[in-house]
Amino acid sequence: MNSYNTLLWLHIISAFLLLFPSIFIPQLFHLYKSKKGQQLLQRIHIIIGIGGWILLLSGSAILYLQNGAMLSFLWMQFSLILFVLIQAIDHFWADKQEEMLESGDAIDTSRLKIWTIIKLLGYGLIALLMVVQPC
């Protein structure tokens, strides 16, 4: 297996590391009330973060090996814009909401749950575009 295929498989596996644990997060927000629940959610958050970083790095390496050829496709441009937008909102808004939950502040988690579902749908759309690759 050449380095491109290895990176491609690493990219796919890291997408699962990012997506699969995220599916359970909206149902687990109530765990922030206990210390063990917070620890579990922090572990899940770490797995998601590792998956996200590997996804970003492997995707960048794949683009590099292709000399950026896929950047000329509209679906790829849309996917990258959507990924960056999701990451920015997650970093600047959702992470702060989660920190407030961890500190024990009583906040309404419904907006955070809705955001998590929107984020999952966005990641799912990106994954679908990567598989289908419309021209």
Instruction: Report the amino acid identity of residue 76.
Output: M
Six token digits for residue 90: 């997650």
Per-residue confidence at 42, pLDDT binned at 50, 70, 90? Answer: confident
Considering the entire predicted model, what is its pTM? 0.81
Per-residue confidence at 82, pLDDT binned at 50, 70, 90? Answer: very high
**What's the farthest any 2 CA atoms get from each other in the chain?**
52
> How many beta carbons lie within 10 A of that of residue 79, not counting itself?
21
Q: What is the overall mean pLDDT for the chain? A: 86
List Cβ neighbours of 92 (8 Å cut-off, separation of 6 or more): none
Per-residue confidence at 91, pLDDT binned at 50, 70, 90? Answer: confident
CA–CA separation, 112 and 72 (whole Å): 34
Q: Is 90 exceeded by the pLDDT of residue 86?
A: yes
What pLDDT, on the 0 to 100 scale, is given for residue 135? 66
Do residues 2 and 107 touch, judged by C-beta distance below 8 A? no
* 17 alpha carbon, distance to own chain's centre: 9
Average pLDDT on 31-35 reads 77
What pLDDT, on the 0 to 100 scale, is given for residue 9? 92
Do residues 115 and 87 touch, judged by C-beta distance below 8 A? no
